[in-house]
Structure 1
Amino acid sequence: MKYLSRNKKLTVNFLAGSLLAASAMAAPQVVAGEAAAERIRQLEQSLQAIQVELQRMKSESAQAAQKVKSIEQTATQTEQKINQTEKKINSLEERKDALAEKVDPLTQRIGTDITEKTRMLHFRGGFTHQMNQRNGSSIQSIVAPVGAQDQAGQDGWYVGAGIDWGLTRDMWGFMPRTTVFAELMFEYKQFGNHVQGNALANAPTMLAGGSLNPINVTVSQFTLTASPKIKFFEGSKIRPWIIPAGLAIHVMSPTSEAITYLAPGIQFGAGVDYNIWKDFFIGIDGRYQLVNKTDGVNLSGMTAGGYVGIGF
């Protein structure tokens, strides 16, 4: 019995030692497995973090690509606008060139002949006509109906001169190439110099008992005017002009039967200048003088003639 009991103990001890040895041998493998699991978990976390970062970078890349596309679209639109603007500029330049081609011949025709002076001295002459026949203190008279009662004709001739002084080249901004001048002019008109005089123009006078011996009387008129003159087409060789209205002072000879010799009136006129060479001009004009009847004498009349002008 003691022998069997001793064998059991030996067997139990052997088994316990084997288990202990097996446990000792298995412990490192368990520890190693846990370390591997920990490393796997850490790798998974790192992979997840890498995936998150990749997603973020992908999103940012997509946004950047969208911005680049937007910039490209904006650049394309800007380029199109630039091209359209260049086309418009080219069109304007073509129009400008075409206009220059049209203007150049005019400039070549004008050349240096027209100096565009703003002042001109002109000398006038031509035909004049009175609307009414003249009476007066020394010709036909209702005050002294003694002696020859003669009248001058209604037609005559005139000479005169004047000066144009430029005020504005564009009618004070209202009309381009339209010059306004101030004209100061005087003229002498004659309607006859062999008109037989009445008793006051008789040698000796019939009022003192003399016989009929009338002397010749010259019927004339002096006119001084101040008028605005509007000339069109500055820069052209041909420049028409008008006088819308101007002041005129007339001196009659012989005087009226009331011994009046001054009569105010209004002047209207129109004409055209032609530049013949450098500052030299020729022209034609017509003028009408409207005058109220003064002491039985009506000086209303007209003139038509030509003139020569010098610009300075």
Structure 2
Amino acid sequence: MTFTKTQLALGIAAATFSVALIAPAQAADARQAERVADAAARKAEALEAQMQQMADQMQAMQSELSRVKTSASAKASTEAAKIQELDQWMGAMKAAPAASTSKDNLVSVRGGWVRLDDARGTNHGGLNTNMNSGGNMLSDNANADGFYFGGAFDFNVNNDLFGLMDATSFMVELGVEYSEFGVGRNNLTTAVDAVVAGGAPVIGPDHSTDNRLRINASPKIKFMHGSRLRPWIIPVGLELNILGVPSNAVSVLNSGMQFGGGVEYELYRGIVLGADTRYHYSTSKIDGTPTDGFSAGGSVGFKF
């Protein structure tokens, strides 16, 4: 019985010792498990955060891709609309008749009546003994009225008067005119014939035709551009006078000015009718031969 109690006591002691040894080990294992669980939880949280970040980035990339696609689609639509509009314009241009450009240059022929302020001579009926008066040594033509004809070229420079006035054209006129005033007695040959041959024509003809030539270069201002009816003025222009019969000093050329105004009307597709008046002024006579005078006439021109 004693032995049995002793064995029982020893068994209880051994069991108690075993429990004492096993309990700390189990506590250590529990703490280790907690640490592992905490680490795993932290890794899971970090991984979840990374996944969320990646999801946000993917969402941003999808939004940007959608924006780019929308922009590209809108741009493609705009370009397609422009191309379609260009095709329509080209089709309209091909179908439309060729538009004629505005023709503002003008070439014209003109003629009319001219009157000198002073006739060249004063004694048409007989011998003029004062051959120095009026430059009538070679022609004593007393007729101050005559006719003229000629032509002109109007070159268009601009249609706004250098930006000063709308619908107002600035042009340069280059013209030439032939004028004739009749026949006068050549006092020189008549006098020589009277002295040498008793009046018989020995030296040459005793009459000469009083004719002139004018060459001008003038600025011309035309109003009402785009209208069929266009008035115009020449403020002042350069003019050269050439005598057909020389002056008493046998000179034939002098310079002067002209002033004028007129009106033009486009009758039909570039065919222009005109009328004008001009005054011709020289600062001096050609060695006594007068050239100043007034002219009026009409013209027919063609635009190009």
Which residue of the partner structure matches residue 48 of structure 1? 42
- Aligned position for 2:10: 16
Report if aligned partners of 1:271, 1:285 keep a CA contact under 8 Å in 2.
yes
- The one of 99, 103, 114 equivalent to 1:116 is 103
Provide the alpha-carbon RMSD of the alignment.
5.3
Q: For residues 32 and 25 of structure 2, what CA distance do their matches in structure 1 show? A: 11
- Preserved contact between residue 112 and residue 149 of structure 2 (Cα < 8 Å): yes
Distance 1:137 1:61, change over 3 A: farther
Q: Does 1:160 align with 2:150?
A: yes
Residue in structure 2 matched with residue 100 of structure 1 by the alignment: none
Letter in 2 for 1:295: D
2: distance between equivalents of 1:62 and 1:115? 68
Aligned partner (choices 290, 298, 302) of residue 306 of structure 1 = 298
Q: Which residue of 1 aligns with 2:247?
A: 256
Q: Structure 1 residue 261: deviation in Å?
A: 2.8
| Residues 52/228 of structure 1: CA separation in 2 closer, same or farther (3 Å cut) | same
Q: Deviations over 1:172-229 (max 9, x none)?
A: xx6699575562x3223344x377x58558699766777xxxx987544222334566
Contact 1:127–1:158, Cα closer than 8 Å, also in 2: yes
Give the AA of the match of 1:256.
Answer: S
Is the 8 Å Cα contact of residues 128 and 158 (structure 1) preserved in structure 2?
A: yes
| Counterparts in 2 of 1:288 and 1:199: CA distance versus 1, 3 Å | closer
Cα distance in 2, alignment partners of residues 267 and 35 from structure 1: 129
Is 2:282 aligned against 1:291? Answer: yes
Do the aligned partners of residues 201 and 136 (structure 1) sit closer, same or farther apart at CA in structure 2, a change above 3 Å counting? farther
Going from structure 1 to structure 2, the CA distance change for 1:13 and 1:52 (only over 3 Å counts) comes to same
Q: How far did 1:266 drift?
A: 3.5
8 Å CA contact 1:127–1:304 kept in 2: the answer is: yes
Residues of 1 paired with 2:250 and 2:188: CA distance? 13
Alignment of 1:75-154 (within 5 A): 116=103, 118=105, 120-130=106-116, 132-136=117-121, 142-143=130-131, 151-153=142-144
Q: 1:30 to 1:133 in 2, by over 3 A?
A: same
Is the CA contact (8 Å cut-off) linking 2:186 and 2:207 kept in structure 1?
Answer: no
Paired position in structure 1 for 2:83: none
Give the letter for the 1:159 counterpart: F
How far apart are the structure 1 equivalents of 2:114 and 2:141? 20
Identity %: 26
Q: TM-score, normalised by structure 1?
A: 0.57
- How has the CA–CA distance of structure 1 residues 58 and 302 changed in structure 2, closer, same or farther, with 3 Å as cutoff? farther
Change (3 A) 1:152 1:137: closer
- How many residues are paired up? 262
Partner of 1:189: 179
Give distance in 2, aligned partners of 1:267 and 1:60: 93
Any gaps of 5 or more consecutive residues in structure 2? 79-96, 200-205
- CA 1:286–1:42: 2 relative to 1, 3 Å: farther
Q: In 2, distance between residues paired with 1:162 and 1:150?
A: 28
- 224 and 39 in structure 1: CA distance in 2 versus 1, 3 angstrom threshold: same
Alpha-carbon distance in 1 for matches of 2:192, 2:51:
134
- Residue type of the alignment partner of 2:109: F
Residues of 1 paired with 2:102 and 2:62: CA distance?
Answer: 64
The 3 A distance-change label for structure 1 pair 230 and 292 is same
Q: Describe the shift of the 1:170–1:117 C-alpha distance in structure 2 as closer, same or farther (beyond 3 A).
A: closer
Counterpart-to-counterpart distance in 2, 1:141 and 1:246: 38
What is the CA–CA distance in structure 1 between the aligned matches of 2:120 and 2:103, rounded to whole Å?
Answer: 46
Q: What TM-score comes out, normalization by structure 2 length?
A: 0.58
The alpha-carbon distance between structure 1 residues 243 and 64, as it changes in their structure 2 partners (threshold 3 A), is farther
Q: Give ranges in structure 1 of 5+ residues lacking alignment.
A: 1-5, 87-107
